[in-house]
Amino acid sequence: MIASLIATFLAALVEWVEAYTIILAVALSIGWRRALAAAGGALLVLAVLTGAGSFILTRINDLYILQLVVGILLTLFGVRWLGKAVARGAGLKQLHDEDAEFAALRARSDIHDRRAAWFIAFNGTLLEGLEVWLIVVALGVQMHHTLAAAGAALLALGVVAAAGVLLRKPLARVPENVIKFTVGAAMLSFGSFWVLEALGYHWPLGDATLPALFIFYSAGGLALVRFYAVAIGDVKVI
Amino acid sequence: MRGFIKTLFGDQRTLSVVGLSILVAVVVLHSPAELAAGLALPVSLLAGAAYLARH
């Protein structure tokens, strides 16, 4: 359970940092009150979605079907994040740059329009928060700790908000790619563990397989970073 | 709505990678080498992550 809460916290931290960049860019155009109202509206939608998602998943009485649904969702999420982190770590894609994102947002012509800017903040927070929502609902329902998972996501929100209040600039020094790599490997571990179990497979080590899977995906991911970096002649660390 | 669906399920490549990996696991699971399914799925998914990183 601790591992799933740490993964939820880290995933939420990355997403809230990205959402904060959007809110900051919008706030400089239409003011903090309106920007925060837009973000608050998006958070409210996410809270409703969390309740609805948990309610729907807990209606599934068959444990194996629930494991399969949650496992597939987490696997889809994990393979995407691990692939993205490997590509960025190896230099195949540019690292996510909050300062550049902020500058691009500030350069948008519609950010000075009050309604358009409100929508940018609302939509940005909602889309960044959807990945947090997915993890909170999937891990929370499967581990029977939705409130604790939501608490971990809210704690991350508090940390980002506090850093934002203190710094008043994009949080560019958060090691986003390392976090995405770690969370991607963790989500793949949970996802593949539950998918196979739902299909009738009995893991020889039981729950102790989870750390082994995490080590496998992490080591494999690091090997891929090294392989691609060497292939393009750009050896870097994640 | 498009962003919502993409966030939940990813793009076509992600769906194909996960679908194929699960298919491989199911085939191995129903073969005489069923114990190897615990290796087949992680290896397939890691190969899928490698493919997604490149595309």
pLDDT of the residue at B4: 73
Average pLDDT value for residue range B23-32: 95
* For residue A234, pLDDT beyond 70: no
Q: Search chain B and give the residue with CA nearest A227.
A: B50
What single string gives the DSSP state of each residue in A84-150?
Answer: HHHHHHHTSSPPP-HHHHHHHHHT-GGGGSHHHHHHHHHHHHHHHHHHHHHHHHHHHHHHT-HHHHH
For B:35-54, CB contacts with A below 8 A are 35, 37-38, 41-42, 45-46, 48-54
Number of neighbours of residue A39 by Cβ within 10 angstroms = 26
Instruction: Inspect the interface and report whether the beta carbons of B45 and A87 lie closer than 8 Å.
Output: no
Q: How far apart are CA A66 and CA A57, in angstroms?
A: 7
Say if A45 is an interface residue toward chain B (CB within 8 Å). Answer: no
pLDDT bin (cut points 50, 70, 90) of residue A237 is low
pLDDT of the residue at A235: 56
In chain B, what percentage of residues exceed pLDDT 70? 100
pLDDT of the residue at A180: 93
In chain A, what percentage of residues exceed pLDDT 70? 98
Q: Is A149 a domain residue? A: yes
**What's the structural domain count of chain A?**
1
pLDDT of the residue at A143: 73
* For residue A238, pLDDT beyond 80: no
Average pLDDT value for residue range A41-52: 92
pLDDT tens-digit readout, A62-110: 888 989 999 999 999 999 999 999 999 999 888 888 888 888 888 887 7
Q: Is A210 a domain residue? A: yes
Number of neighbours of residue B51 by Cβ within 10 angstroms = 16
Q: How far is B14 from chain A (nearest CA, A)?
A: 7
Q: Is A238 a domain residue? A: no
The ranges assigned to domains in chain B are: 1-54
The range of the structural domain enclosing residue A51 comes to: 1-231
Instruction: Inspect the interface and report whether the beta carbons of A131 and B7 lie closer than 8 Å.
Output: yes
Q: How far apart are CA A121 and CA B22, in angstroms?
A: 38
